[in-house]
Amino acid sequence: MKLIVKKEALLLDYLYENLDMPKKRIKQYLTKGDIFINNNKITKYDYKLYPGMNIIIDNSKNKKEFPFEIVYEDEHIYAINKPSGLLTIATSKEKEKTLYHILREYIKTNRKNEKIFIVHRLDKDTSGIIIFAKDEKTKNILQDKWNEIVTLREYVGVIHGKLRKKSGLIDEYLLETKTNLVYVSKNNEGKRAITNYQVKNENDKYSLLNIVIKTGRKNQIRVAFSSINHPIVGDKKYGIKDNFNRLYLHANRLKIYLPYLKKEVLFETTIPNEFKTIMKG
């Protein structure tokens, strides 16, 4: 059974209002973990619902939960919180350990009639929000106008050291070697990359930044802070040797205009716990 939320409400009240079902049975579904909101199992009666959320009641024995957070879902897109260390899509060397493959296999098991299409991607080592389309038409619309419809691309990152300027802009031109290493051009050749930052917290070793990019270049943020000698913590490609097992860069906020809704939608995730821990020293 599937419902698309039409108004703000509390979960139990909304289900009772919209289903021909006694409250006692709805409570049983919640207690047994049979109710999923945007594919996340929910057991709280007073869980807050917002328009566009997807409710599924599934009491089958072979139901399968999606292993990552689904930030948002409607009839046309998914917004997924990708973990660090996972490819977005397949490469010549890796076909199955990708977010696309995991989501596709989940859909095959739970929603046989759905499809998915990749809209954009993040670096393997960067965590955060990625958009998938459920139909090819939506994919083409979003991809073709991506730079126009995306109005905010915000990241949180941890860098080595302290910055003298607590807010600023890094404006560079980037080129790429034959071995896929991105570097700063000395003669303004290549693609322009504009990176804004603001220091939110710092200690003796590290600084926590809010980062907003105006351009979406490959490895842009990692190269930007490496170029000013304050590389992202855990960056084995552009950084310095450290003992961290993940890249401390997370795409935490993405605002895009969705043409089929005729409005902007902000997708947002919490800051990973590792980022908070490292700043405690």
Active-site amino acid positions? 123
Is the Cβ–Cβ distance between 254 and 216 less than 8 Å?
Answer: no
Tokens 């009639």 map to which residue? 113
Give the ranges where 115-204 is alpha helix by DSSP (H).
Answer: 136-144, 146-149
Beta 127-133 vs 249-258: how paired, if at all? Answer: parallel
Q: What is the C-alpha to C-alpha distance for residues 54 and 52, in angstroms, rounded to an integer?
A: 6
Q: What is the C-alpha to C-alpha distance for residues 219 and 206, in angstroms, rounded to an integer?
A: 20
Is the Cβ–Cβ distance between 171 and 194 less than 8 Å?
Answer: yes
Q: What is the C-alpha to C-alpha distance for residues 275 and 270, in angstroms, rounded to an integer?
A: 11
Burial of residue 19 (number of CB atoms within 10 Å: 0-12, 13-18, 19+): middle
Q: In this structure, what are the phi and psi dihedrals at residue 128, rounded to the nearest 5 degrees? A: 130, -165
Q: What is the C-alpha to C-alpha distance for residues 218 and 176, in angstroms, rounded to an integer?
A: 9
